């Protein structure tokens, strides 16, 4: 039986990846950071099938112990301070977790499991002020936030351990990916939750920042398949994972409000509190390499994704949360 260690297992991607690996008969270990209010909501339905290990990307020894315990053939490093806006108010913490945390994890693998295959969750935010449209593996990076800068460090650390030590370290440059399990602070989920609240009469308005920003939004359930595929290849490499389609925040809002038969213009307000010191205006990925080399294709498109998220938020707020999706298969 193969063993995998996932950092960030309680997050959106960690929960989908854990489902995928369980369905493939892996023994799944999940690293969880101690907190007074640990949130197991996303993995509640599979918690009895996962081995939870206590650890923190800030604590080198905890990573060594976790690797010694799990003895994984595959390590997926999904843990991070993952919210761009917060990276301006906590830039040092973001660098410590999201950047140096990658080196700590790589060092732990090098010390205890140098044969293990390592996946690093890199990000389209590394393209920032984009130098080409669409963005592929050869597009120069130009990060625009402490988060983007930290992710870029993690990406290059991953490449460097591959080149320095011959380790199997792959970097997935994932464009934005969403789901009903997305954190409420991200714009997609903020919008679908807000639309559901307005529909149910719990709220009247929705305050947002820059409506003009454009993103390539895919479905997280599709994207974790690409992570797994990267670690099944003969050699490690970097891959862009994206849909190739871009939509504005305005398009997102329009689609979500239309789902419940409302006009967004009657409910959405722009609020400078949600504007950012520097913006990433346009992201759109070219995933040709992932398509040809990994055989990966996204299955859920934008409208379907938004509809799925609005419906899930409506069901949750009505007190009838939808059952978790069936395991992959
Ligand atoms: P990001 O691409 O990782 O920063 O993902 P987000 O979902 O946090 O933001 C996506 C885009 O939506 C960014 O360009 C934000 O500036 C824009 N945006 C506009 N209004 C909001 C808002 O109220 N909250 C968030 N999180 N983003 C917003």
Can you give the residue ranges of every domain in the chain? 3-177+217-241, 183-215+246-283+300-317
pLDDT of residue 32: 97
Predicted pLDDT at 328? 46
Residue for token digits 């389209």? 124
What is the domain class of 3-177+217-241 according to CATH? alpha beta
Query: Residue 178: which of 167, 169, 189, 170 has the closest Cα?
Result: 189
pLDDT of residue 182: 98
Structural tokens at position 328: 């992959």
CA pair distance 231, 8, nearest whole angstrom: 18
Does ligand 1 lie within 6 Å of residue 86's CB atom?
no
Spatial separation of the C-alpha atoms in residues 305 and 215, rounded to whole Å: 14
Q: Is the CB of 271 under 6 A from ligand 1?
A: no
In this structure, the dihedral spanned by the alpha carbons of residues 67, 69, 70 and 71, taken in order and rounded to 10 degrees, is 70
pTM (two decimals): 0.97
Query: What's the CA-to-centroid distance between 20 and ligand 1, angstroms?
Result: 28
* CATH numeric code, 183-215+246-283+300-317: 3.90.25.10
Structure confidence at residue 329 (pLDDT) = 39
By alpha-carbon position, which residue is closest to atom 2 of ligand 1?
176
87 carries an active-site annotation: no
- Between strands 247-248 and 177-178, the pairing is unpaired
State if residue 276 touches ligand 1 by the CB under 6 angstroms criterion: yes
Q: What is the pLDDT of residue 36?
A: 86
What atom in ligand 1 is closest to the CA of residue 82? 3
CB 124 within 8 A of CB 175: yes
Domains 3-177+217-241 and 183-215+246-283+300-317 share a fold: no
Of ligand 1's listed atoms, the one at least distance from the Cα of 178 is 7
Q: What is the pLDDT of residue 323?
A: 63
CB 118, CB 158: distance < 8 Å: yes
Residue 178 near residue 219, CB atoms below 8 Å: yes
Strands of the sheet with 74-77, listed across from one edge: 50-54, 27-32, 3-7, 74-77, 117-123, 169-174, 238-241
| CB-CB contact of 76 with 6 (8 Å) | yes
Q: Which parts of the chain have pLDDT scores under 70?
A: 322-329
**What's 141's DSSP letter?**
P
From 12, 84, 217, mutation site for ligand 1 pocket: most ligand atoms within 8 A of C-beta: 84
Task: Please work out whether the CB of residue 274 comes within 6 Å of at least one atom of ligand 1.
Answer: yes
- DSSP H/E element including 217: none
Active site residue 123: yes
Angstrom distance (rounded) from CA 203 to CA 194: 8
Q: What 3-state class would DSSP assign to 23?
A: helix
Ligand 1 site, residue 186, Cβ cutoff 6 A: yes
Contact 253 CB / ligand 1 (< 6 Å): no
């Amino acid at each position: 039986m193969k063993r995998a260690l996932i950092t960030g297992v309680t997050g959106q991607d960690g929960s989908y990846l854990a489902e995928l690996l369980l369905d493939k008969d892996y023994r799944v270990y999940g690293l969880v950071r101690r907190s007074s209010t640990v949130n197991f909501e996303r993995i509640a339905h599979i918690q009895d099938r996962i081995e939870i290990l206590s650890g923190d990307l800030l604590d080198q020894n905890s990573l060594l112990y976790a690797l010694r315990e799990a003895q994984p053939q595959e390590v997926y490093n999904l843990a991070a301070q993952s919210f761009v806006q917060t990276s301006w108010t906590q830039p040092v913490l973001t660098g410590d977790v999201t950047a140096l945390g990658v080196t700590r994890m790589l060092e732990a693998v090098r010390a205890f499991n140098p044969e293990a295959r390592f996946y690093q969750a890199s990000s389209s935010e590394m393209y920032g002020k984009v130098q080409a449209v669409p963005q592929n593996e050869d597009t120069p990076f130009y990060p625009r936030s402490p988060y983007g800068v930290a992710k870029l460090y993690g990406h290059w650390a991953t490449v460097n351990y591959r080149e320095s030590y011959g380790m199997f370290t792959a970097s997935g440059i994932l464009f934005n990916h969403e789901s009903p399990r997305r954190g409420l602070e991200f714009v997609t989920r903020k919008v679908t939750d807000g639309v559901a609240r307005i529909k149910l009469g719990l709220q009247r308005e929705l305050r947002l920042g820059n409506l003009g920003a454009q993103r390539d939004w895919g479905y997280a359930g599709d994207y974790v398949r690409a992570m797994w595929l990267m670690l099944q290849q003969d050699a490690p490499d970097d891959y862009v994972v994206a849909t190739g389609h871009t939509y504005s925040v305005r398009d997102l809002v329009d689609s979500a409000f239309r789902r419940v038969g409302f006009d967004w213009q009657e409910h959405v307000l722009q609020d400078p509190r949600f504007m950012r010191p520097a913006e990433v205006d346009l992201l759109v990925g070219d995933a040709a390499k992932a398509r040809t080399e990994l055989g990966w294709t996204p299955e859920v498109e934008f409208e379907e994704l938004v509809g799925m998220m609005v419906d899930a938020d409506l069901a949750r707020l009505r007190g009838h949360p939808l059952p978790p999706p069936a395991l992959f298969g």
